[in-house]
Structure formats: structure tokens, C-alpha cells
Amino acid sequence: MRLDGKVALITGAAGGIGRVAAELFAAEGARVVIADVVDDDGTRVVEGIRAAGGDAAYVHADVSTAVQAAAMVDFTTDTFGALHVLYNNAGILPPDDAGTLETPERTWDRVMAVNLKGVWLGCKHGIPALLASGGGSIVNVSSLVALMGSATPQIAYTASKGGVLAMTRELAIEYARQGIRANMLCPGPVDTPLMAELMSDPQWAARRLVHIPLGRPGRAEEIARAALFLASDDSSFMTGAALVVDGGITAAYVTPE
């Protein structure tokens, strides 16, 4: 098992890709802390992991708040005695995050607080625990839009993910000689309930799928397995890297519609 004996803290793990990653990490031997603000769902994830023979615990944490970010790390070390993997997965994309002129300032501030400040706070409070545990791996979720502009305007989200990319590179250099690796996961479109609803419109699907060389959105399991690779010793000579999992989008040239 690739995470045998490791302790992993995953933010935003009550649902979506975070939940799938938590289940996968536990199946690979990690003791997993699920950090989220959706308590009922987070508790159910823990119950499912335990029912499958794994070990997990839930902590309520708004990653944009310093006190709660610190508390989730303290909870992890108090519960499992160490921290080896910090997976900063929590993120938001509000519906009114649109073009530069249309996006409200409050939306910009909230997206930055969760997507960028939240990752920084996770690292600020998590790194001392990683160092105390002998080092480890940081996996920060960026996006393919950190590497290329989004065809659908989402200015705050795009800017926040670009910030995660730049910050992670600096973290990687800062802690490379102290036993901590920091890498980014850059997913493309992923099959979620919202995506499935949109894909039910044949015209919408036809216009979007043409931009994905593999011809389909990704699956949560595929993103989680990429995160597992970065979290484990399989990626032991990688730090400061952006692992792009996008079905080939960033490799393709397309004519604007």
C-alpha cells in the first residue's frame, strides 16, 4: 500500500473529488482526516471509510479562517500523532464569478479567501507538523486555468488558481532541503453532478467536448489517483511541479468559436 503508516489531512473532503481521494488514500493505508464545513457529509465519509476497514476522522474547518486552519492541523496530530500528507483540496467557484466587469467585489474576496488564502493557511499551519513528522508531501489543487485562460469567464477563480501555482513553486524551493515536497494538481473538467446536468444538453456537450482531445470529462477517481501519486513516494523526485490531468486540453490548439 502506497500510503501505509502515513497520516493525511484532506480539505474539502466531504464530497466530490476530495471524498473519493479520502477513500482512496485510506484504502492505500493512510489514516485520513476529512476537513470540511459540511458536517453531515463529512461524518458519512468517515463512517464509510471505517466500514471498509480504514481509519478516518472528521473535523469542521473553514480553511479561510486562520483559527480553524490551525485547529484542523492540531486535530490531526492530536488524533493520529503526526502529519505526512497535506492535501489542500478545498475550493469554490460561485455562479457570479464571471468576467472582470461583472464579478462583484465580495465574490472576488470570498474566492481568494478560500482558494488562495485557504491554501496558504493550510501550509502555514501544516508545515510545522510535517517537519515535526520528519517531512512529507503537500498537494495543492490548482487548475488548468492557471496555465491557460478560461473560455468561460471566471476571473476570480482563474486568478486564485494562478496564485496557488506560483505559491506552490515557492514553497517547493523553500522546503526542498527540509524533507517537504510541494506539488500542484491541475485538473481539467471533471464529471460532477453539475457537469452531468449540462452534458444532457446535446448542443452544450458537442461544443465543449470538441475541446477535450480524449472526448470526455475526467472522472473523480482519475483526479484522486493523480493526487495519490503526488502524495506517495512514487513521486519522490518531484517538487514544484504542476501535474496536469486534463484529457489533453492544454496540449491542443483549437480555433475560437
Residues designated catalytic? 157
Q: How many whole angstroms from its chain centre is CA 190? A: 13
Distance CA 186, CA 103 (A): 24
Burial category of 70 from C-beta neighbours within 10 Å (exposed 0-12, middle 13-18, buried 19 and up): middle
Residues 142 and 186 sit within 8 Å (Cβ to Cβ): yes
Residue 198's CB is within 10 A of a number of other CB atoms, namely 14
Q: Which residues contact 147 (CB under 8 A, 6 or more apart)?
A: 165, 186, 242, 244, 250
Q: How many whole angstroms from its chain centre is CA 96? A: 22
The residue type of 46 is V
Helices (H), the chain: 16-27, 39-51, 66-80, 105-111, 118-132, 155-175, 193-199, 202-209, 220-231
Strands 180-187 and 136-141, bridge-based pairing: parallel
Distance CA 84, CA 248 (A): 31
> Cell numbers of 82, please?
503526526
For Cα atoms 159, 123, 8, give the angle at the middle one, nearest 5 degrees.
Answer: 115
